[in-house]
Amino acid sequence: MHIDLTGKVAIVTGAGRGIGRVIASALAREGVVTVVTDIKEADLADVQKEFDREGYKGSTYLCDVRDERQIQHVVGQVTDTYGRIDILVNNAGVAGGAPVDVLSEEVWDLNLDINLKGTFLMCKAVAPVMKRQKSGRIMNAASFAAIVPSYGSAAYASSKAGVEQFTRVLAGELGPWNIAVNCYAPGMIPTDMNHFAELQEPQQQRLLDTLTLRRWGEKSDVAHLICFLASDYAGYITGTMIDISGGKLATQIPRVAYEKAAAEGAYEFQERGRSDERSG
């Protein structure tokens, strides 16, 4: 099986670094003309250096996904330059939070404006282009918090739950034009936004105890999913959220299986945070 995305045109938002950057690079390696947007000029310059060095096709744009005028400008430029938009990845996001009784209105608004409104505005802008083509793939970043939220995550979880339901509605609306719309829910993937890898050892172990695959995920795990969803192999998948969390809380206490495996000599707990081993 070979995923061939050669010649397709993609926009990936918030892709100056982190998971978005890895998604953009993965698509570019697959032959996709990849347009990267971000609000940080320095990060975009770094992306452009990588693209130039690797010979990737694409371009970069400063764009705040809260600003419809900026979005319309980017979509117009991309359409004028490349003639089409085949793939949209709404990766841009924030994750500020606090318990509800001390949660500021500003933090609430920031989560909803970037995570949910930004996704809406980007989809609204590219939908007419994809409808004219009678084809397209849209992938929206949700979160495991949309499935099971955590303490202090009211703003973030609400925004991501909104992304899931928005995705389902949009999939239904765009189905007649052969446009597939899905969202994905990353779990334990260390990034600059969640700082998982910087936690103290006991905290890391407690988080790892919630995973069926007891290891941190990699940014490339999400990128591989995006490439699959953008390909012809995923042509009959739409209107759903794909959990890419290593089976976080797939069972009530995932650690039990590892304790039993360790007792049988089939598994050895690694008393460190980010083990390179892929045991279990």
> φ, ψ for residue 266 (rounded to 5)?
-95, -5
Q: CA-CA distance, 105 to 191, in Å (whole number)?
A: 25
Q: CA-CA distance, 199 to 71, in Å (whole number)?
A: 36
Would the CA dihedral through 255, 251, 194, 218 be positive or negative? Answer: positive
Question: DSSP string covering 17-39, please?
Answer: SHHHHHHHHHHHHTT-EEEEEES
156 catalytic? Reply is yes
Q: CA-CA distance, 98 to 244, in Å (whole number)?
A: 25
Query: Position of tokens 């900026």?
Result: 70
Token pair for 91: 């990766």
6 closest CA partner among 21, 37, 36, 28: 28
- CA separation (Å) from 101 to 12, 104, 110, 113? 35, 9, 17, 21
Can you tell me whether residue 189 is helix, strand or coil? Answer: coil
CB 188 within 8 A of CB 217: yes
Token pair for 51: 């693209």
> φ, ψ for residue 246 (rounded to 5)?
70, 25
Residue type, 104: S
Token pair for 128: 């007419």
Q: Which of 56, 156, 184, 258 is an active site residue?
A: 156
Active site residues: 156
